[in-house]
Amino acid sequence: MAVAGPFHCEVITPFRKAASLDVIEVIAPAASGEVGILPGHTPFLAMLGSGPLRLREPGGKEHIFACHGGFLQVSEKGVVVLADKAESLDELDPVEIEKQRNELEHVLKSISFTSEDYARTVSNIEENRTRAHVARQKTH
C-alpha cells in the first residue's frame, strides 16, 4: 500500500548527505525532464540531469538545491537522490558564480573543439547555469 502522508527524502552526494527530511513533494531535474513526486508515487528509478531540486516539507518550507547528475530512486520507503553534486541555495554565491561563468567562457574560447577539455568545459558551463538559476531565487 502506498504511503499517503509525508515521506522521507535523502539527498546524497559522493562527499556528504546534503539533506535528510520528511517531505510532501519532491521536484527533480530528471534527464528526460522535470519530475514531481508526491506521497504514494509509484516506485521508479530515473537518471538526473542538471537543474533545481526542490523539497517541500509538510509545513510548506521549501529546500532548493542546484543538482547536477546522478540518480533518483522512488520506493515505498521514500525518495533517495544520489546526486553527483547538490548545492543548497544557501551555499550559492551569485557573485562567485558570475565570476566562474566569465572564466569558463574565456576557457571555451581558447580551446579547440576537438580538445578533451572542450566537453568538460561545456559540462561545467551547464552546471554554472544551473547554479546561477537556483541562486537567483535568493532574491525572490
Walking along the chain (140 residues) 10 residues at a time, the average pLDDT comes out as: 77 96 96 93 94 95 94 96 93 84 78 71 77 72
Q: In sequence order, what DSSP letters do the residues of 21-54 get, joined into one string?
A: EEESEEEEEETTEEEEE-TTPPPEEEEEEEEEEE
Distance CA 112, CA 133 (A): 28
- Name the pTM for this structure: 0.77
Q: How far apart are the first and last CA of the chain?
A: 39
